[in-house]
Amino acid sequence: MSDTDFGVEDDDYRNDEDFDEGGDINTIEVPTARSVLEYLVKSVVESPDDVDVEVVDRRGTVTLEVTVAEGDMGRVIGRRGRVANSIRTIVRAAASKDDSSIDIEFVD
């Protein structure tokens, strides 16, 4: 049986609104959480232009991956991870406005 037996074309499986130009899941899935995360991290680091937040969908779980300049990771993590945990708490609260639960990873 082929897809056309059900009256569905191959292109119908892919909704262009769900994908950006690179084929990744649309980064607008959690706009409030992403904006809050970017704002908080840029406020902490010395090089705010080097902050990058990427939305990744891993088996149904939305993960926000944060990349910063080489010398700024310590500022984002903080002593005993307190700054990172505080950022996670605030951004997860913001994600509730997006009706989503998220994970946050700080990537080296």
Alpha carbon of residue 87 to chain centroid:
13
Radius of gyration of the chain measured on its C-alpha atoms: 17
Share of the chain above pLDDT 90, in %: 62
Tell me the pLDDT tens digit for each residue of 17-53: 444 444 444 445 799 999 999 999 999 999 999 999 9
Given a cut of 70, is residue 1 above it in pLDDT?
no
Given a cut of 50, is residue 55 above it in pLDDT?
yes
In angstroms, the CA 15 to CA 37 distance is 27
For residues 87-98, give the mean pLDDT.
94
Predicted confidence at residue 67, as pLDDT, reads 96
Given a cut of 80, is residue 10 above it in pLDDT?
no
Q: Tell me the domains of the chain and their CATH numbers.
A: 7-107 (3.30.300.20)
